[in-house]
Chain A
Amino acid sequence: MGNMNKLAAVAQIKWLCMSQNTAVVIGPFMVIGMVWGFKILYSNFGPNGELIPVMMAMLLNLGVTMNICINGFLMVGTAIAEEKEKHTLRVLMTSSVTGMQYFIGSILYPFVLTVVINFAILWVSGIEMGQVSVPVFFLVSVIASLISCVIGMIVGICASTQMNANLIGYPLMMVFMMVPILGNLSEGLRRISGFLFTGVVTQMTDCFANGAEYKMEALDIAVLFGELIISVLVFLVMYRRNGYEKD
């Protein structure tokens, strides 16, 4: 019971901090706004103002991968860096909160928000819901969001300031977001994309946009769970070495 109290308190602190940080709050809205804006723009290319499948695929890829990367890498990473910058992280860690409680409390809201916004993106994009396998979309969204939040925690451990977190987070975001998106243009990038968790997300949304059935292959499962395990292991190694903050 005591542990749940602490976890709830940490999650509440993180939520209050994130919701009061304009730069962080603007991210999810920007993604939804961008999807809505591009939908209107792309509609001009289709018959009767409808999106052609390739445009819908591009729209969903951009929206979903950007949402996953922004909320995970940047929202989580920046929030930890802000706590280091304002000297509140050590206060929290010397208040009987455990590393695990801090970990879960830090990723809880960004994780839920990422999954919810992924569904919001589906709705805003105007895709025919009959083309979407909701359970599969939910499962892939959950795992991909979790991976990005854990990577965000790693960014947070490495960064000492918010600026620093952005410097580390943005290149990561570019790789995980742009490689799958540009995979349609280059065979090499498409191959690399197959080994990225965001690549799996992109393959799935491509299928949904084209009205094809998405079947998760062994490689996709291996990439999703493998990258989740790797990111957790990297986080644990880094945490055990220095904690959240290096002395």
Chain B
Amino acid sequence: MEQNELLQLSHISKRYKTELALKDINMELHPGEILGFLGPSGAGKTTTIKIITGQLRQTSGEARILGTDSANIDASIYERIGVVSDDSGIYEKMTVWQNLNMFAKIWRVPRTRVEEVLRLVDLSEHSKKQAGKLSKGQKQRLVLARAVLHKPRILFLDEPTSGLDPTTAVEIHKMLLDLKKEGMAIFLTTHNMEEATKLCDNVALLYQGEIVEFGSPQELCLKYNRDKKYQILLDDRKEIILEQTPENIRKIAEWMEKDQIQCIHSCEPTLESVFLQVTGKTLNAW
């Protein structure tokens, strides 16, 4: 394995009694990269995270994290990775500060880092507040703060913005992009294709435990942009969609020359429609 790869999955499969939950999963994660695992509920996203982080044993294949086979990792691996699951809890009766300070003691992180992280997630002024009294968005920010307190090399995020309002989700997206800039590798599972498009360098589309497509969001959208179309809004407020044909190209050029176009957009598919094309199912069908 190259030093540059923080995470490598080779032919990972997981079987629960009769059900095959994961089939031949292969992927890599590098520093400063956000990799999205995109799929509907039950596709195997959480199972993958649990296998990588040693919480679950795969049936076959090899998962290497920070150079170590995940079958051989012990609790010390968590000093170098951060995990946020969709149901990561907080100690509600403790204050925000205590919630972070306890984990700072576990990881031997200085007090100044706790203060720094509180500022990062904009919770400094709530540090003495009981964690149970925070809003849902603030609680999620606290969970994220705790996960990055020890500056992990890889951050695993399982549906980090699930159930959050759009404003909080945007704040969390900004935080994740800042962490990526600092060189942290992020493994993100989500069923929110807009989130994946915005954040991820690469996405794996997971369906029934199998990666059915892999690449950057742009690559995938362009790959499935088979019938090129343009959405045009003309001066007379008429909105039309034109396919890319020699005749339509001439028509568009003529409108442009006459400055009759208010706006024009290419109609390449979104990740949602790519997923639909590949699997025949929508991401939110479950």
Contact = CB atoms under 8 A, between A and B. Distances in A.
Interface of A: 2, 5-6, 8-10, 12-13, 16-17, 20-21, 83, 86-88, 90-91, 93-99, 247
B91 interface: yes
B91 A95 contact: no
Given A9-B103, A94-B53, 5 more contacts: A16-B93, A90-B85, A90-B89, A91-B146, A94-B55
A86 B102 CA distance: 17
A12 B108 contact: no
B56 interface: yes
Q: Which of B74, B98, B102 has the most CB of A within 10 A?
A: B102
21 contacts: A6-B106, A12-B102, A16-B91, A16-B93, A20-B93, A20-B94, A83-B89, A86-B92, A87-B88, A88-B90, A94-B55, A94-B83, A95-B107, A96-B75, A96-B76, A96-B107, A97-B75, A98-B74, A98-B75, A99-B75, A247-B56
Interface residues of B, number: 28
Given A2-B108, A9-B105, A247-B50, A91 B88 contact: yes
Contacts of B87: 87
A5 B106 contact: yes
A46 B161 CA distance: 69
B182 interface: no
Interface string B77-121: 111000101011111111000100011011110000000000000
Contact of A96 (B56, B91, B102, B106): B106
B162 to A, nearest CB: 14
A21 B83 CA distance: 27
B163 to A, nearest CB: 14
Contacts of A97: 75, 106
Given A13-B91, A16-B93, A95 B55 contact: no
Contact of B102 (A9, A20, A83, A94): A9
Contacts of B79: 96
Contact of A95 (B50, B74, B98, B106): B106
Contact of B78 (A20, A83, A96): A96
Contacts of B88: 87, 90-91
A95 B146 CA distance: 10
A58 B176 CA distance: 63
Given A96-B79, A247-B55, A12 B89 contact: no
Contacts of B74: 98
